A = this chain, B = another copy of it.
Amino acid sequence: MSAKNERGRRLTIPVVVEFEDVDAYGIAHHTKLVAYLERARARFLLSLGVDLARTDLHLVLYDLAVRFKRTAALLDALEVTVSVSSVDAVRLDLSYAIRKEGLLVARATTALAFVDGATKAVVPIPEDVRRALE
């Protein structure tokens, strides 16, 4: 894969831990932290012109890795940062950090592909998106 490194493309969003996100241990459940990543990703891609609501072109996750460093509690104010790690013709790798008062709550990476909504086949990343990412 001849991925190109990306410099400077990033976005940070605020997320507050809601009661619905807290588990029996009194901390944000890990699946919710994974969902927070997607919230940053959705806004980041939207800023690049990718509309997640389109039903003819799906953005599909096929690889996810998360390292949890600290717990987050009810009403904690988090910051979720997403940045481009690499992009090639068909694959977009993003990196994430979730922070609470500057301290790392989690680090994560995802690999994404664009899929035709009807055929479910992987398609090349749209040219304009790829250009915006590089």
Interface of A is mostly: mixed
Contact with B along A31-44 (1 / 0, CB 8 A): 11011001100100
Query: Shortest beta-carbon distance, A88 to chain B, in Å?
Result: 18
Segment with Cβ contacts to B, from A1-9, A57-65, A124-132: A57-65
Complex-state Cα separation, A71 to B62, whole angstroms: 10
Q: Which of B25, B66, B120 contacts A71 (CB 8 A)?
A: B120
- Residues B31 and A18 in contact, CB atoms below 8 Å apart: no
Number of copies: 4
Would you call A64 and B63 a contact (CB within 8 A)?
no
Interface size on A, residues (CB 8 A): 38
Query: Please, how many angstroms separate the alpha-carbon atoms of A117 and B64 in the complex?
Result: 28
Count chain B CB atoms within 10 A of each CB in A19, A22, A65 and give the residue with the most.
Answer: A19
Inter-chain contact B25/A23, CB cutoff 8 Å: no
Residues of B within 8 A of A67 (CB): 62-63
- A22 and B23 form a contact (CB under 8 A): yes
How far in angstroms is the closest Cβ of chain B from A67? 5
Q: Cβ of A52 and Cβ of B34 under 8 Å apart? A: no
- Chain A residues at the B interface, C-beta cutoff of 8 Å: 18-20, 22-26, 29-32, 34-35, 38-39, 42, 46, 52-53, 55, 58, 60-69, 71, 73-75, 117, 120
